[in-house]
Structure 1
Amino acid sequence: MRGLSGPAWWFVAGYGVSAVGTGLCYPFLAIYLHQFRGLSGGATAVLLLVLAGAAVPMSVFGGRLVDRHSPRPVAIGALLVQAAGWLLVAVGSGYPAELAALLVIGAGTGLFLPAVIPIIARLSATDAVKVRTMSLRYLALNLGLGAGAGLGGLLLGPAGAGTYRWLCAANGVSCAVYAVIVAARVPLPAGDPALRRARPVRFRPGLSYTLLLVAQLLLVTFGLAQVESGVPLAVRTELSGSTALVGGLYAVATLVVLAGQLPVSRWVERVHKTRALIVMLLAWAGAWLLGYAAEGLAGGSRVALLVAMMVTFALGECAYSPAFYTLLERLAPAGALGRSTGAAWAVFQVGNTAGPPVAVFLVGGAVPFWLVLAAAATLAAGLVLVVDRRMHAAPRPALAMP
């Protein structure tokens, strides 16, 4: 894509390599712990919560490190921590070893995420280049996860725990390879004052930044996380859909994201990022209303509406990464981009962790599941609209002194 520097291409390519490794084993982690290792459902849930929970405080801590030092060494160290964690899963034996391994992986993930946006910001000469780089990162993530999950599923089909351990080792290697790529091929521009700052400035988030994070909590908890948890449950139980239908809907959504990411990002380049987020959230609200309408139909008409729902949601999703993180970088207090992105990633982890139990509570509840999701998307759009009005408000003229 136009304007990307060599280091930016290397950073995105490394992201894709690491995503392939993640896809090899992360989607099958619960299956490995519960079926191959024989852990109870409760013990498996505890381990998965440790993995997600460790990332939340470490995202905040990682943001502080980014602001105090530089995002590049933080990213390299975090990737090596992740590599160590996955290798510990591969060689460890017993519940304590697995607990320690997932704690290490969660900590490494939390440390890495706050460094991503600052690195992209440093490597991007303009907002347009920033949008393109973030779009390519999201595309590399989806391609890598899909390719890795497909290969992992094929390899695990006729095999067992031993094969899964090798896949975890491969993921550890992919993290280490990415660390080498960042160290050798992703130099950051010199002369940034942040590199010379002895102590970071005080983090004072403004109202617009805070509203954006609240909107993110809503769009993750009642949007992105529901696509992974609530939508399959609702289609299977409330709409009597088959597992083949659920799989087909995800295949459609994945294809739409892969085909639509770059065209949508070009649109995001041309509009204000708040407007892009508002359109995205309203598209999601419309998608959930299609799901609600599908409850009143049957047969091919129901399937058609569900496909339209997933297509609409996926097109909106294509705007999320380039619009949200570009806007986040713009609203971050001066000298506190690392802590700003660290807080945003912590909010993302909280929403992603809360999403599945929220789905279990909502599906089959008194209020239709789809209407709750549509209301949450609309509320998030309203919060972003407030941010938009604040960003476009004309400055008040100074009062003349008598």
Structure 2
Amino acid sequence: MRIRRARRPERRLTGPAWWFVAGYGLSAVGTGLCYPFLAIYLHQFRGLSAGATAVLLLVLAGAAVPMSVYGGSLVDRHSPRAVAIGALLVQAIGWLALAAGSGYGAELLALLVIGVGTGLFLPAVIPIIARLSPTDEIKVRTMSLRYLLLNVGLGLGAGLGGLVLDPATDARYRWLFAADGVSCALYAVLIAALVRLPADTDRPVREGARPVRFRPGLNFALLLLAQLLLVTFGLAQMESGVPLAIRGELAGSTTLVGGLYTIATLVVLAGQLPVSRWVERVHKTRALITMGLAWAGAWLLGYAAGALTGGPRVALLVVMTVTFALGECAYSPAFYTLVEKLAPAGTLGRSSGAAWATFQVGNTIGPPVAVYLVGSAVPFWLVLSAAATAAAALVLVVDRRMHATPAPAFALR
């Protein structure tokens, strides 16, 4: 008797999904051209004070938070594809206005428009990927590729921007801003031409229909709280608090900081797809729990590095960085798949908007929190480890609730 092998789960992306994530990478190149150099341009080239520069950057980041919530409502009422196209065009207008304008008022308005467009776009990402993915395996893979191409695009853009700005002039900065605007417009055209959603989901369910009321359950609320901890005391710290702690507390060089950042980037690029295959095979809550515990262990390695010197200290910091980066590879495919699973029916746009708004809040408050922790007597590494452990515990509660077996009903006779 011939034994048939179990069919491997289909992981090939659909054509529209490929175009969507490829366009995401293209847009990320434009983002990388500008974001790393924006504060330098405003403060050094425009001569704005540190306070005025901070206000402009807060407007950019702050506008995205409420607009993510509003954008989620638009996605639930209309086509997420239409919302994404409109939001990208808004971003394009903002970057082109920044390239052409002069004066504090013009820059304030341009950055406000960019923040609005960014906030409107983000809630459309998960619904589009969900509708373009016939299976959970394809959904996980698509989200992993999106995150991979995001990192590749940001890295390429930053490197190219650094080359263009050597030497730096006002005109060259403005050309970079214009290039980012063009990348957003091209992405909008690509979505309009090549990213078609299934016919029954590319429009509102019924013209004039009232949207389903958004009532997130306890599982979803706990997931967002875990995300806030992971972003504020994890992702945001890797880019702000960790370099500060290595330079100050551990007396590390800028070369060491740059080397560790490069290692983290390379690990994400090499490990994203292999880790995503593992995420496909396990429940997404358990992938997030493992990620949280891995981060908690990574931060403990940072704490232990303080007791060492020389080569052993550097080696421990490298292991910490690799561990953190491997955990980061699980974040996007596991977390955003859970957002889609836990979103109440008819509210995926608003659920996605709430998730992106939470991410923006954590990413905004993370750097000030880092400055406070590193400059105080609070044990920086232990706080980060405790936060990662707490996030894993919250997701564990969600896991237990999702896998709870209903109590059997006994009939009275």
Q: Is the 8 A contact 1:66 1:74 kept in 2?
A: yes
Instruction: Tell me what 1:101 maps to.
Output: 110
Instruction: Tell me what 2:128 maps to.
Output: 119
Taking a change above 3 Å as real, the CA distance of residues 193 and 256 of structure 1, as seen in their structure-2 partners, is: closer
Aligned-pair CA distance for 1:401: 5.2
Higher mean C-alpha deviation, range 158-167 or range 378-387: 158-167
AA matched with 2:294? A
Aligned-pair CA distance for 1:200: 1.2
Instruction: Tell me what 1:76 maps to.
Output: 85
CA distance in 1, matches of 2:232, 2:195: 33
- Structure 2 residues not aligned, in runs of 5+: 1-9
> Structure 1, residues 361-398: CA drift from partner, whole Å, max 9, x if none?
00032221000000000000000000000000012233
Q: 1:53 aligns with which of 45, 48, 62?
A: 62
AA matched with 2:256? L
Instruction: Tell me what 1:13 maps to.
Output: 22
Q: Is the 8 A contact 2:27 2:184 kept in 1?
A: yes
- Structure 1 residues not aligned, in runs of 5+: none
**SS of 1:196 mapped into structure 2:** coil
**SS of 1:90 mapped into structure 2:** helix
AA matched with 2:292? L
Q: Is the 8 A contact 2:11 2:137 kept in 1?
A: no
TM-score, normalised relative to structure 1: 0.98
CA distance in 2, matches of 1:49, 1:15: 24
Q: Is the 8 A contact 2:71 2:121 kept in 1?
A: yes
Establish whether residue 215 from structure 1 lines up as the match of residue 226 from structure 2: yes
Instruction: Tell me what 2:199 maps to.
Output: 190
Higher mean C-alpha deviation, range 329-338 or range 193-202: 193-202
CA distance in 2, matches of 1:270, 1:76: 33
Establish whether residue 351 from structure 1 lines up as the match of residue 362 from structure 2: yes
AA matched with 1:232? P
Could you tell me the percent identity over the aligned residues? Answer: 81
Q: Is the 8 A contact 2:80 2:202 kept in 1?
A: no
Instruction: Tell me what 1:274 maps to.
Output: 285
> Structure 1, residues 25-68: CA drift from partner, whole Å, max 9, x if none?
11110000000110000000000000010000000000000000
CA distance in 2, matches of 1:57, 1:28: 25
Mapping for residues 158-307 of structure 1, pairs under 5 Å: 158-192=167-201, 195-197=204-206, 198-307=209-318
**SS of 1:195 mapped into structure 2:** coil
Aligned-pair CA distance for 1:193: 9.0
> Structure 1, residues 271-300: CA drift from partner, whole Å, max 9, x if none?
000000000010000100000001111111
Higher mean C-alpha deviation, range 247-256 or range 191-200: 191-200
CA distance in 1, matches of 2:121, 2:82: 10
**SS of 1:330 mapped into structure 2:** helix
Instruction: Tell me what 1:34 maps to.
Output: 43
Q: Is the 8 A contact 2:30 2:183 kept in 1?
A: yes
Instruction: Tell me what 2:344 maps to.
Output: 333
CA distance in 2, matches of 1:371, 1:157: 40
Q: 2:374 aligns with which of 363, 377, 381?
A: 363
Q: Is the 8 A contact 2:276 2:330 kept in 1?
A: yes
Q: Is the 8 A contact 1:209 1:331 kept in 2?
A: yes
Instruction: Tell me what 2:7 maps to.
Output: none
CA distance in 2, matches of 1:328, 1:122: 14
Q: Is the 8 A contact 1:238 1:364 kept in 2?
A: no
CA distance in 1, matches of 2:255, 2:406: 56
Q: Is the 8 A contact 1:204 1:333 kept in 2?
A: yes
**SS of 1:358 mapped into structure 2:** helix
Q: Is the 8 A contact 1:18 1:171 kept in 2?
A: yes
CA distance in 1, matches of 2:202, 2:51: 49
CA distance in 2, matches of 1:217, 1:399: 42
CA distance in 2, matches of 1:106, 1:193: 26
AA matched with 2:260? L
CA distance in 2, matches of 1:191, 1:160: 50
TM-score, normalised relative to structure 2: 0.96
